[in-house]
Structure 1
């Protein structure tokens, strides 16, 4: 377990660094936040469990590459519900050539004239790849519906098409897993306040995010219709309770690992080869201006 202790020490250092970097006002809000979460999981326990799950994710990655599996994981939910946090922890120790994140911007004028699913299809995985969608084609059932970016006919067409689209993905060999991150009204308000008062997090807030506070009930109704019409046996929805960020991350990663029948794959033993020394080679002295100054 020596590797786990070493990684745990490094991870705790990173966590302390993030905490110390936050402005005083944000720290005051964090105190209020912690008072409203008295049963928050112990930091050391959290990181120990996270590192254990991340080691399993590496096994999953190796199995996917070896077996040429294709996996798509969709992350949806309310703004600030914790989607980005769990995606970061999933990808943190994985090979970006195997596991990649897709977070598409708003569609361009050209894309708006295409078949709705067209801009998502190029990002689907080939054999040996895992793709994590940080929001997905379900934008049409959520923000586009609530904000009026799609017509009623377009929304109805989406609901008619999406079950067949997803079944075709599954038939093609893609494992499709869909998560919805759920938080309460009060929890979202607290997280938005933390972002507003923290210069390092203000970039996370968009005009659409702020409108989601005004239209909370409309988003709730949109979510309920989405579940009712797109929760199919081939690709069911899984709801992650997200009020406790750390528990949500652990629960989601653990559940994800349970959905895939991965196992150990054969590995060749890795040995560091001896360096070849050439007695006639003489290393050149490079100009000092090429080096980054050693300020620290």
Structure 2
């Protein structure tokens, strides 16, 4: 068995729903507040015109003060939304790790389609906690990038294959959260895509070699990020996702990738 590598911490809605990020929420609310600001300034401008026509300094003063007040409230709202949506993810993840050490997750170096495999999960506890529940899922993650007009979008779909719901309990500082689980890749499932062989072969392609000659560091970075992948708009990957619910504390969420090769399991082996 080998150490499985961390892959992602968030999880999209199970069942193929689109994943909405905190930044996306912030942008949407920012747009709503901007429209509200335009409406307010239009109304305030009308009041100023009325005040000017009527030569009424009181009306002009009220409109001016109202503009500054509402502008300040809108700016505070925008900052608040950004802090809550983005900061909650960053701070929440940091707080959960203040109570838990980084886990040790052992699994197979590679799994075949249709094969059963074991996962050993060990996580040390830094401080006294009450774990209300542990959920460990086997997920097939589908990543898709597409264009609509001049805009480019990405969607993430997490398909639940198997779920283990486990009891929690009280854990004292220095104790270990141990779990030994068994999963199976369905025989009608698809392997990790693109395969390592496809990625390795693509490194020798003219497209990659051209970027490599111009800027080797950029080429390596693009290869690692998948932007120079032969299937840059579609990816499939398998993950074991762990969620530990902690009473009065942010939950721990982390996924670990399981490499699934393009071979069908049989009793005769590879």
TM range (shorter): under 0.3
Q: TM-score, normalised by structure 2?
A: 0.23
Q: TM-score, normalised by structure 1?
A: 0.21
Higher radius of gyration, 1 or 2: 2
More strand per residue: 2
More helix per residue: 1
